[in-house]
Structure 1
Amino acid sequence: MPAPITPSGAITDVTDNHDDLVFADEAAEASASASDAAWRILVVDDDADVHSTTTFALGNVEMQGRPLAFLHAYSAEEAFALLGRERDIAVVLLDVVMERADAGLHLVRRIREELGLHEVRIILRTGQPGYAPEMEAIRGYDINDYRTKSELTRTKLYTAVAAAVRSYQQIRALDENRLGLERIVAAGAELMALHGVRDVALGILAQVAGLLGQAPEGVLCVRETSLAAPHHEVLRAVAAAGACRHLDGRELGPQRGAHLAQAAERCLRARRTLGEDDLLAMYFAGKAGRDFVACIPLDRPIGDTTQRLLQVFAGMVAVSLDNVELVTHLNKAAFHDPLTGLPNRTRLVELIDATLCTPVRANAILALVDLDHFAETNDALGHHFGDLLLVAVARRLKSRLDPQLDLARIGGDIFCVLGDAGAIQPGPLQALFHEPFQIDGQDVQVSATLGLVRLSEHDGCGADALKDADIALKRAKSQQRAGHFYFSRSMGVEIRERVRMMHALRGGFRRGELFLAYQPQVDLASNRAFGAEALLRWRTEDGRLVPPDRFIPIAEYSGLIVDIGEWVLRQACAELMRLRQAGHREFTMSVNVSQVQFRHPHFLDMLRRALDDTRAPPEFVELEITESMAMEEPSLLVEKLAQVKRTGVSIAIDDFGTGFSSLSHLQRLQVDRLKIDRAFVTEITGSARGSSIAEMVVQLGRNLGLSVIAEGVEDERQAQILRALGCPLAQGYLFSRPLAPEALLEWLGKQALTRAA
């Protein structure tokens, strides 16, 4: 039975244990707010006196700094219904025997299993201690204490309820932490799904607000270098929410967001989260000294549990911010030029593709802007100076062009402008370069050449449009610097055909479709063959012959001519050796050398290897170079030809008479033979000019001690005139068409028989 209550309302324990407890005074009425925070105790008993004595004994006490509030049920069914609709009941004081002998025990099962209430603490009380043995009840049912009503003195009743309340409080705290951690994990997943630092920052403000149970409010800021002063750091709001939205993207300081800026500075200095009654400054440690701070005004003070959850959240968010900054950095590196910060080629292709998918393509233009003679400036003044010039050009284009236009840098000295045709006109665009650029205190004058594409006339993707603009740019540069050229469909067809042929040629060379034919060269006085010119031919898989004047320029343009040229030289030298083994010991093999091949740094090594590997005698090998090659960079060519001559190989100048050779230069080249171009041979029978040029070449060769051969001799009349002019050697259809190796041997054999007869 409960202990007696003193007139003052204080409860004193008078049991044999002599343990005294002083409870709250009756006069200390709980306030309304305190009542809201009271521990809720449900008394379940069919005896009304038990309800009144329990309430009277514990009505004015505080546990864990909070009062108690009582709810009452007089049967198991009534208690079950009450527990089903009421939440946050901390302790149930439950009688075992009510409407049935096991009503209390049965209710315990229903509370745990049907209602799923596992946090509520259940103290079983019975007036019949022998009815339900204590050990069996505790072992068989999820109860937290078991007491007989007779042993529950005031002190022990208080002790039992206080222990149950503490247990309930700990379980609820664990549950709150678990739920908080679940919310943090969910928040982390949501944040990782966002892209960009600003979106993640806004997400952080929203998630913190959810953890605090208030509307999103505040700023998330970072210390970074000022755009206006590169050596000065500022505090910038990456994102802002609620009443702080006006601070989004702005610098914080004494003039703007002063209270938040001060809190952020204190947080950054302390490198930890700081809390005040009305403001929370959360610290997010970043890498490379780039730390973030979230300043969040508070609706109410936060408890210890929430503070711990926020600390866990801050650690997780710091990782998220690091990750998103890394992704942002990688994205910038992948899609932006590191020097100027402009979009790069990859990003530009995306922008062009996006434009092509919208109606704006009807009036859109893509323009490439190529700085003229930039390489020379870069070489003369250094790469650092060149970089400064590129940055200055980017800055001028960005500041003076329509801001609606997309600007990019797609390579070395090539910029690109994309947008409305009205804002991209060649004249105004090139006029931007009339004013000199100030670089390191120097005035630098730069011009630009433009290649433009009207996207309304373009059928392909963004990458194709860029290729078309590059084609137009090359055409503009071939005509004149500081000019411009618009791409046309016919240009595209021509270029694409060249590309198609380039791939076909590469595959054909790999498959062995290229072969050599040999056109005999004869002595006009005796009609005796003294040599042959190796001529490159291409027969495709379908048996079609591709003219040399179509595929050789493409081989030169693509650089494939270097590999093909080496193969030609080796094949020709090998054929020379077969002819020598067949008895033609004084036979010379003449091989054409492309300009690209001749200027290759390893040409001499390739020549020596071909001679060594085939054992071809160099004195019977002749290399033919064109007159235009002989005239370019004379000093370099003189040295290169001297090196070739030291191998024992002789040199002929092909197509002589079509260029503008100077006699002094010709003497320095150490060549052995001049070839009269077929155009002049064709004209000698009907044109005084053709005959006079041929005669001049013959006379020049005689004066310089050089051999002379005429090519393209097709009839006897031409041969007679050449003999009369003193030309000793010739080749052409009059003597023989180009022959396969077996046919050449046969032809030489027939010629020998004819001479013998």
Structure 2
Amino acid sequence: MSEHSEDELLTFLEDDVDSQTGHLSNKSDPWRVLSVDDDEDVHVTTQLALDRVEILGKPVELLKAYTAEEALDVLGKEKGIAVVLLDVVMEDDHAGLDIVDKIRNELGLVDLRIVLRTGQPGYAPELEAIRDYDINDYRNKSELTHTKLYTTLTSVIRSYSQIRALEASRKGLELITQSSGKLINSKGFDEFSLGIIKQLSELLGLSDDGIVCTRTSSDDADIGMGYTIVAASGRYRSAINKPLNELQQPTVMQALKNCIEQQQNLLLDNAIVLYFSGQSGNDLVAFLDQTRKLDDTEKRLLDVFCSNISVCLNNVLMLSKLHHYAYFDSLLDIPNRLAFVNRIDEYKSKGIDASVVLVDVDQFSAINDTIGITNGDFLLGAVALRLGEVLDDSFVARISGDVFGLVGEREALTPDTVRGIFYSPFSIADQEQLISVTLGMYDLDEKVESGQEALKKANIALKKAKESLRGSHCYFTRAMEMETETRVRLLHNLRKAFDHDRLFMVYQPQVTVPDGRPVGVEALLRWRTEKGEMVPPDRFIPLAESSGLIIHLGEWVLRTAMLQLQRLQSQTSFKLRMGINVSMAQFRHPEFLNVLDRAIAETGVDPHDIELEVTESVAMIDRVAVSKTLSSIAKRGIKIAIDDFGTGFSSLSYLERLEVHRLKIDKSFIDKLQGDSADPRLPEMIVNLAKDLDLDVIAEGVETEEQAAWLKRINCDEAQGYLYARPLEETWLLEWLREQEQRLA
């Protein structure tokens, strides 16, 4: 209840039942009185006493019964009997009380008032019977003169009227409370509007012929154009979704307009028109046919109903906004990921052969940089609009930044159909923008699965397509899911391994080619599982890079390798440098230089003894930014080596301008330096290039004496590989270094 408590409402409803005119039914309806007696003279006398008599403003209608059985039959069939004038003694001494017992306990007529009459002076029912059966009066027949009968009936009818008023109030309050709960739980504004008609008709016992309209524009010049019919039932059903001006019933239309103009309820002879004020001008106007006049109690209940509906309306408007925020994308105002998942569930429940398609706009970040963020947003809107127009039978949603989701019948969502939508350019800022898309596709099957799982499978397919070839498509397969599950499980285990110190460092010596003198070591990360099994670096390093874990791992590797260098320099006579690999993700991280400085400060190493190894791909990502970062590193005294040189697509002129100190010849070239088909041309070219650029050079993966001989022949400075030493843990590394000290001594 919004404005009145239930007790207060019962009070003012009871006050309406005054001593002169208070009642619930129409004033023309008579009070129905049943006379039960086996004496015809008593009926005649009672009829004469009540002829042309009005009690509380209404006439009296007398019904007759001569036996207990006949009385119960009448009470079971006839409705609205207010009073029973009941002879105590008829067939036997207890016939009257037996009837009372059945009236109260079998027929359940608790509102009915009972007056006992007896023709036997001195006979009266026991007090317990009067109390237990709610008997309202007891009289001798000789006492019931015209005046006394009138007085007795007036008293009990007033009691009956008050009980009925309170009962009607109670039921009305229950209906209002129930209707409020149902309306607040409505799924959407339209359902709420239709619910008003239904609940109002139930409350007043009227038909559900009604209309609800709401403001849909700020057209103040013509109310009929500014309001639309959002709910209609009964004989007005065909008016749904039409402007108020197009309503075919002129009197109904005028009544609604009058209510809108006056902004108050109108109780007309043949209709009820109610005005509900909502937030931000979202008001509602309800019209309901009225086939009878309302009594005072119903009018009071109607006021309470309207107060509750106004509160419900604002709640529903708020919930509608929250629903919109929850299920619609804030930028494009189209369904979002959550709505997409729900729609997939709907397709699943209908058993339709449907497909889920994820549409990823290729290189959207670069497009955004070119045309600007605002125009990029316009482009996304244009993509959504075209998808909706061409695939009008499919559901379109925005899943993430530049990824759209489609779900619809399988035949309508083939790869060629979807890609064909983007063959024509988009007009953005008076320029034509041509784009391509990559598709991840999944056909819904008969297995029981959620929309979220279906979206996950389509996303797995999209990632696979993006890895394979931009502009292509890929259907989900179980093998993809297993691969993804393996990656997720491996990443989870990698995080645990990092947290529980199961990652460790090994170091591969680097030596001079002519005499094998140790000049440095390369720090390499390794992972040993709880079961003692080794996980290859080529499995977990790319995973750490793609997940971002490499940032934390990389900082730990820097600090660990530098601490190891400190220990090595204090325990050996060799002047060693420490080579540390740096991934693309680390190198591009804005805090990388700060992390590097912290590691140097905390470990106390000489920066000149540190060499950071980056791949050619890192060196080529952003030439200006890379050049700036490399210069900053070089100013700290740290050297830079280009790892796996020769496998990428470096520009030699660009390489010449970078602060680089060493080139590392990739193992794939060293493998060719043996056997009858040995081909030293590429390694020799790299060595000569390094000499021309005043750079040092080192060969990786040297495994045989023949390879080492070739490296001497082409004047390669340094080498590392199994021929000299495998990657070693600290203890074995120190032992190897001491062996080299003895050998060289």
TM-score range relative to shorter protein? 0.7 to 0.9
- The question of 1:713 aligning with 2:705 is answered no
Partner of 1:336: 328
Superposed displacement of residue 103, structure 1:
8.4
Using the alignment, how far apart are the partners of 1:209 and 1:255 within structure 2? 21
Superposed displacement of residue 261, structure 1:
3.3
Deviations 1:513-546 (A, max 9, x none): 3222111112234432122111222223333323
Of 518, 535, 541, which aligns to 1:546? 535
Query: How many pairs does the alignment contain?
Result: 717
Of 722, 726, 740, which aligns to 2:715? 726
Of 498, 509, 515, which aligns to 2:498? 509
In structure 2, the CA distance between the partners of 1:706 and 1:226, relative to structure 1 (3 Å rule), is: same
Superposed displacement of residue 602, structure 1:
1.0
> For structure 1, which segment, 694-703 or 458-467, has the greater mean C-alpha deviation from structure 2 after superposition?
458-467
Deviations 1:686-740 (A, max 9, x none): 5899533333333333343332222222233333332333333222222211111
Of 18, 27, 38, which aligns to 2:30? 38
In the TM superposition, 1:19-38 aligns within 5 A as: 37-38=29-30
Of 431, 441, 445, which aligns to 2:433? 445
Of 171, 174, 199, which aligns to 1:179? 171
- The question of 1:237 aligning with 2:229 is answered yes
Using the alignment, how far apart are the partners of 1:292 and 1:318 within structure 2? 9
State the one-letter code of the partner of 1:240: A
Partner of 1:391: 381
In structure 2, the CA distance between the partners of 1:256 and 1:411, relative to structure 1 (3 Å rule), is: farther
Using the alignment, how far apart are the partners of 1:665 and 1:73 within structure 2? 117
- The question of 1:673 aligning with 2:662 is answered yes
Contact persistence 2:225–2:244 (CA under 8 A): no
Using the alignment, how far apart are the partners of 1:485 and 1:451 within structure 2? 6
Contact persistence 1:268–1:293 (CA under 8 A): yes
Partner of 1:297: 289
Superposed displacement of residue 599, structure 1:
1.3
Using the alignment, how far apart are the partners of 1:427 and 1:47 within structure 2? 96
* Matched residue SS, 1:299: coil
Partner of 2:10: none
Partner of 1:27: none
In the TM superposition, 1:166-315 aligns within 5 A as: 166-188=158-180, 191=183, 195-225=187-217, 234-254=226-246, 256-315=248-307
Using the alignment, how far apart are the partners of 1:318 and 1:430 within structure 2? 50
Using the alignment, how far apart are the partners of 1:463 and 1:217 within structure 2? 42
Deviations 1:233-266 (A, max 9, x none): 7322222222111112333214545443332233
In structure 2, the CA distance between the partners of 1:579 and 1:377, relative to structure 1 (3 Å rule), is: closer
Partner of 2:20: none
- The question of 1:365 aligning with 2:330 is answered no
In the TM superposition, 1:511-530 aligns within 5 A as: 511-530=500-519
Using the alignment, how far apart are the partners of 1:738 and 1:102 within structure 2? 112
Structure with larger Rg: 1
State the one-letter code of the partner of 1:281: V
Of 59, 62, 65, which aligns to 1:70? 62
Of 564, 570, 573, which aligns to 2:562? 573
* Matched residue SS, 1:300: coil
In structure 2, the CA distance between the partners of 1:259 and 1:391, relative to structure 1 (3 Å rule), is: farther
Using the alignment, how far apart are the partners of 2:459 and 2:499 within structure 1? 29
Using the alignment, how far apart are the partners of 2:326 and 2:667 within structure 1? 55
* Matched residue SS, 2:226: strand
Using the alignment, how far apart are the partners of 1:643 and 1:588 within structure 2? 19
Superposed displacement of residue 640, structure 1:
0.7
Using the alignment, how far apart are the partners of 1:358 and 1:584 within structure 2? 78
Using the alignment, how far apart are the partners of 1:428 and 1:306 within structure 2? 61
* Matched residue SS, 1:607: helix
In structure 2, the CA distance between the partners of 1:270 and 1:712, relative to structure 1 (3 Å rule), is: same
In structure 2, the CA distance between the partners of 1:232 and 1:749, relative to structure 1 (3 Å rule), is: farther
* Matched residue SS, 1:368: strand
Partner of 1:647: 636
Contact persistence 2:582–2:614 (CA under 8 A): yes
> For structure 1, which segment, 648-657 or 367-376, has the greater mean C-alpha deviation from structure 2 after superposition?
367-376
State the one-letter code of the partner of 1:448: S
State the one-letter code of the partner of 2:724: F
Partner of 2:8: none
Of 375, 388, 392, which aligns to 2:365? 375
Unpaired runs of 5+ residues, structure 1, are 1-32
Using the alignment, how far apart are the partners of 2:94 and 2:668 within structure 1? 125
Contact persistence 1:407–1:416 (CA under 8 A): yes
Q: Which has the higher contact order (CA 8 A, sep 6+)?
A: 2
In structure 2, the CA distance between the partners of 1:575 and 1:490, relative to structure 1 (3 Å rule), is: same
Partner of 1:23: none
State the one-letter code of the partner of 2:380: L
- The question of 1:610 aligning with 2:602 is answered no
Using the alignment, how far apart are the partners of 1:636 and 1:597 within structure 2? 14
Of 43, 58, 65, which aligns to 2:50? 58
In structure 2, the CA distance between the partners of 1:280 and 1:684, relative to structure 1 (3 Å rule), is: same
Contact persistence 2:277–2:284 (CA under 8 A): yes
Contact persistence 2:663–2:697 (CA under 8 A): yes
* Matched residue SS, 2:644: strand
State the one-letter code of the partner of 2:33: I
Give the structure-1-normalised TM-score. 0.82
Unpaired runs of 5+ residues, structure 2, are 1-24
Contact persistence 1:119–1:171 (CA under 8 A): yes
In structure 2, the CA distance between the partners of 1:284 and 1:580, relative to structure 1 (3 Å rule), is: same
Using the alignment, how far apart are the partners of 1:106 and 1:424 within structure 2? 78
How big is the alpha-carbon RMSD for the aligned residues of Structure 1 and Structure 2?
Answer: 4.0
- The question of 1:632 aligning with 2:624 is answered no
* Matched residue SS, 2:393: coil
State the one-letter code of the partner of 1:337: D
Using the alignment, how far apart are the partners of 2:94 and 2:445 within structure 1? 91
Using the alignment, how far apart are the partners of 1:43 and 1:491 within structure 2? 87
Superposed displacement of residue 627, structure 1:
2.6
Using the alignment, how far apart are the partners of 2:239 and 2:88 within structure 1? 64
Using the alignment, how far apart are the partners of 2:117 and 2:712 within structure 1? 140
Partner of 1:455: 443
In structure 2, the CA distance between the partners of 1:664 and 1:200, relative to structure 1 (3 Å rule), is: closer
* Matched residue SS, 2:212: strand
> For structure 1, which segment, 739-748 or 689-698, has the greater mean C-alpha deviation from structure 2 after superposition?
689-698
* Matched residue SS, 1:253: helix
> For structure 1, which segment, 735-744 or 560-569, has the greater mean C-alpha deviation from structure 2 after superposition?
560-569
In structure 2, the CA distance between the partners of 1:700 and 1:96, relative to structure 1 (3 Å rule), is: closer
Using the alignment, how far apart are the partners of 1:625 and 1:516 within structure 2? 18
> For structure 1, which segment, 465-474 or 598-607, has the greater mean C-alpha deviation from structure 2 after superposition?
465-474
Give the structure-2-normalised TM-score. 0.83
Partner of 2:16: none
In the TM superposition, 1:60-209 aligns within 5 A as: 60-72=52-64, 86-92=78-84, 117-122=109-114, 142=134, 144=136, 154-155=146-147, 157-188=149-180, 191=183, 195-209=187-201
